[in-house]
């Protein structure tokens, strides 16, 4: 089955700096890669997603890049703010999975003042 | 515009008991998926339902079961609770069921979850 690895597990940046979180996946047939942000005690919130027919997608300060050949995708957050502090999860859809998502283990992002 | 709702928010049970968790999807969404999130880990897929039919099942024992109702709401049942079942149970709502094989996966929106503690 699909395996999604996520790095780093914790990331600390200064306010205004950029943050990058990387994920790799194992199933070459995966074609949908969402990113969720989860604040403590709250629901995972979709922040951006990318489908395999594009290599990059941007939404204001957030961007995701996808390299299908290498089977990895990354989340880029620019001009980080304290409210960006949360756990970020990447996910991928395994072959034959319908809406099934396989999630990474999460990255705790801390934006320091 | 209401999002995904789940009830109850918290639940405490003892080993061996049974529990039922409920989910109402976003209005107009017909697909519901259930995930288990153990503390410090990413969500793990349990079930997907669409139009009252099971469309996918994760690697969970038969103690876990679910169903979907004509109004697209869903229930997750867990029998013979174990300590290891303690987790946040998340429901995700999507418009369509997605397709298998090299098909497409629909965007999923999560509810607030039910925190289950098994003592």
pLDDT at position B116 is 98
* Three-class DSSP category at A82: helix
Q: Please state, for a pLDDT cut of 70, what percent of chain B lies above it.
A: 95
d(CA A41, CA A28): 33
Sign for the pseudo-dihedral over CA of A15, A20, A23, A29: positive
* Pairwise CB contact (< 8 Å): B113 & A102: no
Q: Are A64 and A74 in contact (CB under 8 A)?
A: yes
d(CA B49, CA A50): 24
* Pairwise CB contact (< 8 Å): B41 & A105: yes
Measure CB to CB from residue A101 to each of B99, B108, B111 and give the nearest one. B108
| pLDDT tens figures, A23-75 | 999 988 888 999 999 999 899 999 999 988 779 999 999 999 999 999 999 99
pLDDT at position B104 is 73
**φ, ψ for residue A7, nearest 5 deg:** -145, 145
Compute CA B81 distance to the chain's CA centroid, rounded to the nearest angstrom: 16
Using a CB–CB cutoff of 8 Å, tell me whether B25 touches chain A: no
Q: How many degrees, rounded to 5, is the angle at CA B82 between CA B79 and CA B86?
A: 100
Using a CB–CB cutoff of 8 Å, tell me whether B108 touches chain A: yes
Burial of B89 (0-12, 13-18, 19+ CB in 10 A): buried
Nearest Cα to B58, choosing from B79, B40, B30, B37? B37
Interface test with A, best of B108, B109, B111, B114 (most A CBs within 10 A): B108
């Amino acid at each position: 089955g699909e395996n999604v690895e996520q790095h780093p597990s914790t990331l600390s940046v200064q306010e205004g700096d950029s943050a990058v979180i990387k994920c790799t996946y194992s199933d070459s047939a995966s074609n949908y890669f969402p990113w969720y942000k989860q604040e403590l005690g709250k629901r995972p919130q979709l922040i951006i997603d990318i489908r395999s027919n594009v290599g990059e997608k941007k939404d204001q300060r957030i961007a995701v890049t996808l390299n299908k050949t290498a089977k990895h995708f990354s989340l880029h957050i620019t001009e980080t703010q304290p409210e960006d502090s949360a756990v970020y999860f990447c996910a991928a859809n395994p072959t034959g999975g319908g809406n099934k998502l396989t999630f990474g283990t999460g990255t705790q992002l801390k934006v320091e003042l | 515009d209401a999002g995904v709702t789940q009830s109850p928010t918290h639940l405490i049970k003892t080993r061996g008991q049974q529990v039922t968790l409920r989910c109402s999807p976003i209005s107009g969404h017909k697909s519901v998926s259930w995930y288990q999130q153990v503390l410090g880990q990413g969500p793990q897929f349990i079930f997907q339902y669409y139009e009252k039919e099971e469309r996918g099942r994760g690697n969970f024992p038969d103690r876990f079961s679910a169903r979907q109702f004509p109004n697209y709401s869903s229930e997750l049942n867990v029998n013979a609770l174990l300590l290891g079942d303690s987790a946040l149970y998340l429901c995700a709502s999507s418009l369509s069921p997605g397709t298998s094989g090299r098909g497409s996966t629909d965007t999923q929106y999560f509810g607030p979850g039910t925190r289950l503690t098994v003592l």
